[in-house]
Amino acid sequence: SLIGTYVENEEIYSPTKILTFMKWPLKYWLNFEIGLGKISNFILSEMNCKGEENYEKDGISMSVRPDKNEISHMAFGSLLHKLFELNPDKDKIDSILEKLVPLYMSSVLMDDEKLKSLKIQAKEIYLNFIESEFWKSIEKEKNFKTEFEVYVKEKDFFLHGIIDRVVFKEDKAIIIDFK
């Protein structure tokens, strides 16, 4: 199979790998087969959009690579994810975003006004979330883990995922995914 990593003759599947493979085979190859990771977004954004291969398989529309708008949204999503992961205090948000925005948005060519607008958007989204009643109740919990890795064996394969934050309560676990 093209998806997954072999562990003792069994495969590990992650949602990211499966979706990337289904939607953007070239991005999958760059990320997971040759290990370029985030630089693949830059490579793909520099490629000429003409001649992009689009096709449909089993009712799912697929393309060789994401278009520039999709790359922009993916980069912004990754930026927000990192901001939530860092969980800065309100007085530190601006300085964190000054570092994160160029780092995460460098693969998408944007003018200074657009980058400034993205910083404002990211800050607003983050503040709305941390000021929500849901987040305030989660923040009070002391028994939690971040970036919690999970493997579940199902027949001949493993499902793999990383939970952004999991809060353990007496008889339940609350799973939080920042995207």
**CA 65 – CA 53 distance, rounded (Å):** 8
Tell me the Cα Rg of the chain. 19
Query: Which two three-digit tokens encode residue 32?
Result: 């997971």
DSSP element (H, E) containing 12: strand 10-13
Return all residues near 158 (Cβ < 8 A) that are at least 6 apart: 7, 10, 11, 12, 13, 151, 152
Mean pLDDT of 40-66: 49
With H, G, I as helix, E, B as strand and everything else as coil, classify residue 58.
coil
Share of the chain above pLDDT 90, in %: 17
Query: Which residue did the predictor score with more confidence, 16 or 8?
Result: 16
**E strands present in 59-176:** 60-63, 144-154, 157-168, 173-176
- pLDDT, tens only, 54-80: 444 445 444 444 455 555 777 788 888
Of 87-91, 113-117, 126-130, 157-161, the poorest mean pLDDT is in 157-161
pLDDT of res. 109: 63
With tokens 């400034």, the residue in question is 116
According to DSSP, the residues that pair with 174 across neighbouring strands are 167
Task: Put residue 9 in one of left, alpha, beta given phi > 0 → left and psi -120 to 50 → alpha.
Answer: left
Query: Residue 151: which of 5, 37, 3 has the closest Cα?
Result: 5
Would you say how long the chain is, in residues?
179
Return all residues near 28 (Cβ < 8 A) that are at least 6 apart: 2, 3, 17, 20, 21
pLDDT beyond 50 at 113: yes
